[in-house]
Amino acid sequence: MGPIRSAAGVTRARASRLALAALLALLPCTTLPAQALTDATLAAADSFVVRFETTRGPIDLMVRRHWAPLGALQLGRAVTDGYYDGAAFFRALRGFVVQWGIAADPALTARWRDRRIPDDPTTESNRRGTVTFASGGPGTRTVQLFVNLRDNGRLDAMGFPPIGEVVRGMDVVDALHTGYGEGAPAGRGPSQDRLTAEGEPYLAREFPQLDRIRTARIVQVFGGR
């Protein structure tokens, strides 16, 4: 868990995020050349910005390598592969989290679902706006992510290290459809097993109001060699 910040520290951090959001708003909505986004480039970067163009608008995620280096590299690889294009925010729980990361194409899901990575230590808290890998236990992170809709500090001790934070578009995150609630069998939302097997046609047929990611691209890389 990260250090406890004073009120002045929190204010400075918020001001920094607002300034960064203003800067990112000026960035063009274009991807960096694929040949520039090698493992070496991503592993050496201090941070990089992933822009999710969604059905509600753009969301900019600042991925911070020093928070979770293994997770940051995994996300960079998946984005470069186009994994999240067309993926739905299939688990959206009002006042808790919004989760995504099962591909629209079952073949793409199958290609990535066993690419597990070791755990990173938790160095930052799961505060509102941070983005974290979902997992089913130690050593099981692959490509599913969630964004915290509130401060969820209780997740810190459960092995959920944030890899970055939304620096622009949190209003878009708050507007994502949450009407279906928890997934099956606990709730009436989508079944992850069926989504994994059937892909987008399953959601389009039974959960048409879910919001989706149109494209996910790395639009800026900071630091590194």
- Parse the chain into domains and list their residue ranges: 7-222
Convert the pLDDT of each residue in 124-170 to its tens digit: 999 999 999 999 999 999 999 999 999 999 999 999 999 999 999 99
Q: Please check the confidence at residue 28 and state whether its pLDDT lies above 50.
A: no
| Neighbouring C-alpha atoms within 13 Å toward the C-beta of 148 | 23
CB-based contact 214:26 (threshold 8 Å): no
Which of 24, 29, 17 minimizes the C-alpha distance to 54? 29
| Residue environment code for 98-132, b if the CB has 16+ CB neighbours within 10 A, otherwise e | bbbbbbbebebbeebbeeebebbebebbbebbbbb
Beta bridge partners of 99: 91, 146
- Domain 7-222: CATH superfamily, name plus number: Cyclophilin-like (2.40.100.10)
Confidence class for position 19, pLDDT limits 50, 70, 90: low
Query: Position 22: which residue type?
Result: A
Tell me whether residue 80 is exposed, middle or buried, using C-beta atoms within 10 angstroms of its C-beta: 0 to 12, 13 to 18, 19 or more.
buried
Three-state SS at 6: coil
Tell me whether residue 192 is exposed, middle or buried, using C-beta atoms within 10 angstroms of its C-beta: 0 to 12, 13 to 18, 19 or more.
middle
DSSP labels, 155-187: GGGGT--EEEEEEE-HHHHHHS--TTBSBTTTS
Convert the pLDDT of each residue in 50-99 to its tens digit: 999 999 999 999 999 999 999 999 999 999 999 999 999 999 999 999 99
CB-based contact 160:126 (threshold 8 Å): yes
Percent of the chain predicted with pLDDT > 70: 83
What does the pLDDT read at residue 29?
A: 41
Q: What is the CA radius of gyration of the chain?
A: 17
Confidence class for position 10, pLDDT limits 50, 70, 90: very low
| Residue 145 to residues 15, 86, 92, 181, 225, Cα–Cα distance (Å) | 26, 15, 12, 17, 28
